[in-house]
Structure 1
Amino acid sequence: MTGINGEPGRVDTVAGIELGGTKTVVVLGCPGAIERRIEYPTTTPDETLGRAIETIRPWRQAGQVSALGIASFGPIRVAREARDFGFMLDTPKPGWAGADVAGVLQRALGCPVGLDTDVNAAALAEYRFGAALDCPTAVYITVGTGVGVGVLVNGSPVHGLLHPEVGHVRLRRAAGDGFAGACPFHGDCIEGLLSGPALSARFGRHPGAVRPDDPAWGAAASDLAELLAMLVLTLSAQRIVVGGGVANRQPHLLPAARALMPALLGGYLRDCTAEALERICVPPALGDDAGPMGALIVGAAA
């Protein structure tokens, strides 16, 4: 086996940061194995990135860190050739727009830095080690503080003008649903309907306090079904993994959405039977480790 520095027989350890809208996870390990894990709330850029540096610096000084991988919420500039590579763009997260995420960490730690979105990184982890194993065209959806969608084509994350921002598309609404949405940019885009803050606003209480059999979940399941059907039609994904804090803690939501998909697809795709959709649209095999594991993959490739 060859490490990322090219030395036969050696697998280098790297550090990874999953920078989420609510919490940050810092890990040490290598792709496929997390050796150490520290979690703390995502607050201001200075405090959050400072805590990451304080955690990683001793590992770096001990020779345990050969590179760093960052799996970040966004939107964030991921193109290395861009002048603002690693800078946060116009994010709904207060105080983070314009934060120099990659630059601050690279200057403090002095090691190669890889960067991708948290959802692209999670998609890589599920493709390499989890629910999307051997599915080169795969999608990872996180339903949590926001709604993000990572896309792999031929096993590689999709970049372009920026990176996929599927969470901000608008789709058909459930009949009779008058919720205005909670996205500060678009109102009733998918993030404005399905994110944790959106569900709290929709329900008038924390989603965790709403019973799985409460009819209030019906519109949310319809919104998720519309998103899944759109991704099946546009990307022809072999696997769509639905994770994130809300989805992982509300396991009834994905089956409810999946049950609505055949009617939405209208019999158009003969390969998308109800049985097939159970194989295509699945929960993450890595659970809450998908993002941190993806950060290690991104770091190992830096």
Structure 2
Amino acid sequence: MLYGSIEAGGTKFVCAVGNEDLEILHRESFPTTVPAETMAKVIAFFKKFETELVGIGIGSFGPIDIHEESPTYGYITSTPKLAWQNYDFVGAMKKEFSVPVAWTTDVNAAAYGEYVFGHGKGLDSVVYYTIGTGVGGGAIQKGQFVEGFSHPEMGHMLIVPHEDDSYKGNCPFHGNCLEGMAAGPAIEKRLGKKGADVPESDPFWTIEADYIAQCVYNTTLMLSPDVIILGGGVMKQQHMVKKVHEAFTNLMKGYVKTPSLDEYIVTPALEDNAGTMGCLALARKVALSA
């Protein structure tokens, strides 16, 4: 038996299959262009394993429709990627493969990967943020995604601009939301270069850490999770975790007692594999419950 994983990001799709122990056996990635082109490559990838495939997990960029009773369940809905608006993702896969399909957001999938295999293993409450090209967040409570009328859009929480930051924000909807102020494109538009090219000594990183710490502060007071995991390209800056710890401590001012920050505010144990592992685990879950 093989389980399939589709990590559908705004820049690229990562497809993989894993065995019963969820060990990754094969993986390929394709640029995210238009549905006809990208999905043809996705389907061709899984056709090679069709006779052994028993379930597929999809973690997709969004917004997406997560409600199974909805006529547009399985659709990517009002995404800014115009070619993908109102695209029936789950329907397209079900036309080709007669196996159960798990469907969630890309950041929920990463959260689930960490919940099953990483820093969330054995814990009841896990929150995962990805801070990269965009900012997204997912939360898990006792094995279930925290959702309501839709999935969370935590990356668009409003934050207080830093006193040394005159930038007004990159988000066309909210300006100074977390994504508008702290995502990769906001860094590049503010500084004229990508975050990876900004030296550790640059004072901007103190501002960035403050914005991420505001996110962690808000999350702590709203959800009191066991762990908050910060992924994405921005958090690959090794110095950022310590800066976020310091900024969070200054914001919280001892109001609530959290776990040790070295265990409470962390980067992903699975690194770039969190989404793929989460999708495989969701594929196994949906296959076993079918």
Cα offsets for 1:166-202 (capped at 9, x unmatched): 1011022211311111112222211111222222112
- Per-residue deviation, 1:110: 2.8
Alignment partners' CA distance in 2, 1:189 and 1:91 = 18
* Equivalent position amino acid for 1:193 in 2: M
SS across alignment from 2:53: coil
Question: Quick one: structure 1 residues 24 and 167, their matched pair in 2 at CA, closer, same or farther if it must change by over 3 Å?
Answer: same
* Equivalent position amino acid for 2:25 in 1: E
Are 2:8 and 1:19 aligned?
yes
Alignment partners' CA distance in 1, 2:243 and 2:200 = 10
Are 2:130 and 1:142 aligned?
yes
Selected match of 2:258 from 255, 272, 288: 272
* Equivalent position amino acid for 1:279 in 2: E
Alignment partners' CA distance in 1, 2:261 and 2:80 = 33
Are 2:239 and 1:252 aligned?
yes
Contact 1:137–1:153 at 8 Å: present in 2 too? yes
Selected match of 1:160 from 143, 148, 152: 148
* Equivalent position amino acid for 1:83 in 2: P
Map of 2:160 onto structure 1: 172
Identical positions, percent: 38
Alignment partners' CA distance in 1, 2:283 and 2:68 = 14
SS across alignment from 2:54: coil
More displaced stretch, 20-29 vs 170-179 = 170-179
Selected match of 1:127 from 115, 123, 140: 115
Contact 1:32–1:129 at 8 Å: present in 2 too? no
Alignment partners' CA distance in 1, 2:91 and 2:241 = 38
More displaced stretch, 223-232 vs 166-175 = 166-175
Cα offsets for 1:145-176 (capped at 9, x unmatched): 21110100112111211011110110222113
* Residue ranges of structure 1 left out of the alignment (5+ in a row): 1-11
The residue correspondences of 1:194-209 to structure 2 (distance < 5 A) are 194-209=182-197
Selected match of 1:300 from 263, 276, 284: 284
* Equivalent position amino acid for 2:15 in 1: V
RMSD between aligned residues: 1.5
The residue correspondences of 1:21-100 to structure 2 (distance < 5 A) are 21-30=10-19, 32-60=22-50, 63-100=51-88
TM-score (norm 2): 0.94
SS across alignment from 2:74: coil
- Per-residue deviation, 1:136: 1.2
Alignment partners' CA distance in 1, 2:153 and 2:70 = 18
Question: Quick one: structure 1 residues 93 and 219, their matched pair in 2 at CA, closer, same or farther if it must change by over 3 Å?
Answer: farther
Contact 2:116–2:281 at 8 Å: present in 1 too? no
* Equivalent position amino acid for 2:221 in 1: L
More displaced stretch, 278-287 vs 85-94 = 85-94
Are 2:267 and 1:283 aligned?
yes
Map of 1:193 onto structure 2: 181
- Per-residue deviation, 1:251: 2.4
Cα offsets for 1:227-254 (capped at 9, x unmatched): 011111110010011112332x322222
Q: How many residues align?
A: 285
Alignment partners' CA distance in 2, 1:224 and 1:53 = 37
* Equivalent position amino acid for 1:142 in 2: T
Question: Quick one: structure 1 residues 254 and 93, their matched pair in 2 at CA, closer, same or farther if it must change by over 3 Å?
Answer: farther
TM-score (norm 1): 0.90
